[in-house]
């Protein structure tokens, strides 16, 4: 745990396992937008252990089942921002699990490529 880290200070989770937990995003981009976060304070996904990666993936699968049951999304975006240049603003790893719905975007092909809008279409 690190002081002054918004994620390290959390103690109420939607789901958890020994190494990670799930919360709903405070500023969701879609209904049900969730974050999967390792319990150990680590800034970059590439610095997590193999066990932490597996724990995060397990919880991503579990929260997607909850989202499917409760929200009936038509698809998902899953992503991790690593570093300031990639848009990371809280420097404690967190994986976004974002339910997507038909019609929530006019032209969704290209998906996560849209982080650089002019590169989304190919």
Q: Which of 33, 41, 92, 94 is catalytic?
A: 94
SS3 61: helix
Cβ-based neighbours of 98, under 8 Å, separated by 6 or more: 29, 30, 32, 33, 34, 76, 77, 78, 79
Please name each of the domains of the chain with its CATH number: 15-104 (3.30.428.10)
Told to judge if 94 belongs to the known catalytic residues of this protein, a careful annotator would answer: yes
The 10s digit of each residue's pLDDT in 6-17 is: 999 999 999 999
pTM of the model: 0.91
Q: What is the pLDDT of residue 2?
A: 58
Structure tokens at 85: 């240049």
% of the chain residues with pLDDT over 70 = 92
Q: Where are the alpha helices (DSSP H) in 28-80?
A: 50-71
The 10s digit of each residue's pLDDT in 51-87 is: 999 999 999 999 999 999 999 999 999 999 999 999 9
The 10s digit of each residue's pLDDT in 36-45 is: 999 999 999 9
SS3 70: helix
């Amino acid at each position: 745990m690190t002081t002054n880290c918004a994620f390290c200070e959390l103690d109420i989770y939607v789901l958890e396992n020994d190494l990670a937990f799930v919360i709903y995003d405070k500023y969701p981009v879609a209904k049900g937008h969730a974050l999967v976060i390792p319990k150990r304070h680590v800034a970059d996904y590439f610095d997590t252990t193999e066990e932490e990666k597996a724990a995060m993936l397990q919880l991503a699968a579990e929260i997607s089942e909850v989202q499917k049951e409760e929200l009936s999304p038509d698809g998902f975006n899953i992503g991790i921002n690593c570093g300031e240049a990639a848009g990371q603003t809280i420097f404690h790893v967190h994986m976004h699990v974002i339910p997507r719905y038909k019609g929530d975007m006019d032209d969704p092909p290209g998906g996560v490529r849209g982080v650089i809008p002019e590169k989304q279409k190919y």
